[in-house]
C-alpha cells in the first residue's frame, strides 16, 4: 500500500543500516547508543518484579498522564513548580513526538543544533517542520546565529541537548545556558530541553537545566533509558501547566498510557536505597571506558585527529582530516569496526563536519582499544 504523502520523503535511517551491519559476527560496534547491558540494575529490581503478581490493579488500564504515585514522587524529586506539570511518556522519544504533533503545523520553524540527535530530526521531519540548523561549538550553540535566527521570527521551537549532547558529547557552560534562555524569553521561542544523559556526569560540576532560566517557555524531557534500562521505555515530560492537557490528549490518542507495571517498577527502583550507588557506579564505569577510548585514540591516531574531551554521557566526536566520513565508516566496517559518520546527524542538504561518533558506554576498555586499533588501519 502507498504510504501517506507526508511520509514519502522519509528515508530509512543510515544509522539503522550501520547498526544492522554492526551485529555481524566479529564486528566491534561503537555505533549504537547502548548503555552497558551487564550494568542494568536488575538485582535492585528483582524483589519488585517478584512482587508484581500480587498487584493485579497495576495491570488494569491507568491514567494517561502516568502512574500517580510515580508522578507524585517525580514532581517532588525534580521540584516541579505548582505552575508546572509532568507526564510520563514511553521513552523521551515519544515525548518528542508528542510535542511535534501537539504544537507544530507543517512549515513551522524548528531550530536545532547541527549536528543533532537523528531521532529528533526524524520526528521534526515527519511533522513537516522547517528545520533551521545552528552550528554547535565546544560550549554550546553559536549564539549569534541563534539570535539572528530567533530575530527573523521564523522559529517556534528550539530543540537542544545541553547535557552531553548526542552525538558530540558537548555540555553547555552556565553562561551559554543563561544566554539561550534569555534569547528564548526575548524572542518568544519555546525551548525543548532534552536531557537523557544528564545523570551520566563523570567529571566537572552539575549545571542547572537551561529551563530553570526560562521556565515559562520550556518543555523538559528526561529518560529512564540511560539510568535504568532502555527496554523499559519510560521517560517524562514537564512544562507549563496549561501546555500539558493538549500533550496528554495526544498521548491518549496514541497509546492510552505507558505501561503501569513498568512505572511501578521504576518507582520502586528510584526509591531503592541502592539506586544512588548504582548511578555512581555507572558514571565510574563510563569514565573508565571513556578514558580507555581517549587514550587509545591519542596512541593509535596521534596528530590531526581532534576529539574534544567530554565530562559525561556516552559519546565522543572524533573530527577527521578527510572529508568523506561516510566512506570512512564504510571502510571501517571492512576492518570489522562499526562507527557512525557525521552525515547521519545533519538535516538533509546541510554539509556535515567530517567526524565520527564513537560510543564508549557499551564495550569494555580492551575492546575499545582493539576497535581503535582497527579504525587506525583505515584512517592512517
Query: Which residues sit at the interface with ligand PMP, rule CB under 6 A?
Result: 33, 91-93, 117, 119, 161, 166, 194, 196, 223, 225, 230, 235
Pick between residue 66 and residue 230 the one whose CB is nearest to ligand PMP. 230
Please, what is the minimum distance in Å from the beta carbon of residue 41 to ligand PMP? 16
Please, what is the minimum distance in Å from the beta carbon of residue 136 to ligand PMP? 13
- Residue nearest to ligand PMP according to CB distances in the complex: 91
Find residue 148's DSSP bridge partners.
none
Q: How far is CA 21 from CA 214, 272, 334, in A?
A: 43, 39, 10
Please, what is the minimum distance in Å from the beta carbon of residue 356 to ligand PMP? 16
Please, what is the minimum distance in Å from the beta carbon of residue 35 to ligand PMP? 9
| CA–CA gap between residue 285 and residue 164 (Å, rounded) | 16
Pick between residue 102 and residue 258 the one whose CB is nearest to ligand PMP. 258
Pick between residue 87 and residue 376 the one whose CB is nearest to ligand PMP. 87
Pick between residue 134 and residue 376 the one whose CB is nearest to ligand PMP. 134
Please, what is the minimum distance in Å from the beta carbon of residue 194 to ligand PMP? 5
| CA–CA gap between residue 138 and residue 185 (Å, rounded) | 24
Please, what is the minimum distance in Å from the beta carbon of residue 132 to ligand PMP? 18
Three cell numbers written together for 167: 552525538
Pick between residue 123 and residue 285 the one whose CB is nearest to ligand PMP. 123
Please, what is the minimum distance in Å from the beta carbon of residue 45 to ligand PMP? 17
Pick between residue 161 and residue 297 the one whose CB is nearest to ligand PMP. 161
Pick between residue 117 and residue 317 the one whose CB is nearest to ligand PMP. 117
DSSP state of 24: S
Name the CA radius of gyration of the chain, rounded: 21
Task: Return the axis-axis angle of helices 275-300 and 365-379, rounded to nearest 10°.
Answer: 30
User: DSSP states of 275-318 as a string?
Assistant: HHHHHHHHHHHHHHHHHHHHHHHHHHT-TT-EE---SBSSEEEE
If one counts every other C-beta atom within 10 angstroms of the C-beta of residue 377, the result is 13
Three cell numbers written together for 339: 562507527
Please, what is the minimum distance in Å from the beta carbon of residue 295 to ligand PMP? 25
End-to-end Cα distance, the chain: 48
Neighbour-count burial for 334-344, b at 16+ CB within 10 Å, e otherwise: eebbbbbbbbb
Pick between residue 122 and residue 178 the one whose CB is nearest to ligand PMP. 122
If one counts every other C-beta atom within 10 angstroms of the C-beta of residue 147, the result is 17
Amino acid at each position: 500500500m502507498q504510504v501517506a504523502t507526508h511520509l514519502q520523503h522519509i528515508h530509512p535511517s543510515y544509522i539503522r543500516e550501520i547498526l544492522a551491519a554492526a551485529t555481524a559476527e566479529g564486528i566491534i560496534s561503537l555505533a549504537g547508543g547502548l548503555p552497558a547491558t551487564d550494568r542494568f540494575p536488575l538485582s535492585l529490581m528483582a524483589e519488585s518484579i517478584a512482587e508484581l503478581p500480587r498487584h493485579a490493579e497495576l495491570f488494569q488500564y491507568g491514567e494517561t498522564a502516568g502512574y500517580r504515585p510515580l508522578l507524585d514522587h517525580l514532581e517532588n524529586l525534580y521540584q516541579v513548580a505548582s505552575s508546572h506539570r509532568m507526564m510520563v511518556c514511553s521513552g523521551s522519544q515519544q515525548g518528542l513526538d508528542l510535542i511535534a504533533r501537539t504544537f507544530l503545523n507543517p512549515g513551522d520553524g524548528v531550530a536545532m543544533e547541527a549536528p543533532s540527535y537523528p531521532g529528533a530530526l526524524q520526528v521534526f521531519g515527519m511533522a513537516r517542520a522547517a528545520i533551521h540548523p545552528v552550528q554547535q561549538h565546544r560550549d554550546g550553540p553559536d549564539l549569534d546565529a541563534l539570535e539572528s535566527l530567533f530575530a527573523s521570527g521564523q522559529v517556534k521551537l528550539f530543540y537542544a541537548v545541553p547535557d552531553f549532547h548526542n552525538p558530540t558529547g558537548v555540555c553547555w557552560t552556565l553562561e551559554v545556558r543563561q544566554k539561550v534562555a534569555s534569547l528564548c524569553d526575548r524572542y518568544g521561542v519555546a525551548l525543548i530541553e532534552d536531557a537523557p544523559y544528564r545523570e551520566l556526569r563523570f567529571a566537572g560540576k552539575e549545571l542547572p537545566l537551561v529551563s530553570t532560566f526560562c521556565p515559562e517557555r520550556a518543555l523538559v524531557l528526561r529518560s529512564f533509558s540511560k539510568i535504568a534500562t532502555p527496554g523499559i521505555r519510560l521517560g517524562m515530560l514537564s512544562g507549563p501547566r496549561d501546555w500539558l492537557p493538549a500533550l496528554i490528549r495526544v498521548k491518549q490518542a496514541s497509546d492510552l498510557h505507558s505501561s503501569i507495571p513498568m512505572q511501578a517498577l521504576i518507582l520502586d527502583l528510584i526509591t531503592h536505597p541502592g539506586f544512588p550507588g548504582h548511578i555512581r557506579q555507572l558514571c565510574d564505569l563510563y569514565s573508565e571506558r571513556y578514558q580507555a577510548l581517549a587514550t587509545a585514540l591519542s596512541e593509535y591516531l596521534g596528530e590531526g585527529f581532534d576529539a574534544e574531551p567530554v565530562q559525561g554521557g556516552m559519546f565522543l566526536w572524533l573530527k577527521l582530516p578527510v572529508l568523506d566520513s561516510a566512506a570512512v565508516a564504510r571502510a571501517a566496517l571492512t576492518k570489522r569496526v562499526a562507527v557512525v559518520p557525521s552525515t547521519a546527524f545533519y538535516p538533509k542538504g546541510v554539509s556535515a563536519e567530517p567526524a565520527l561518533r564513537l560510543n564508549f558506554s557499551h564495550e569494555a576498555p580492551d575492546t575499545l582499544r582493539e576497535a581503535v586499533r582497527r579504525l587506525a588501519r583505515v584512517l592512517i
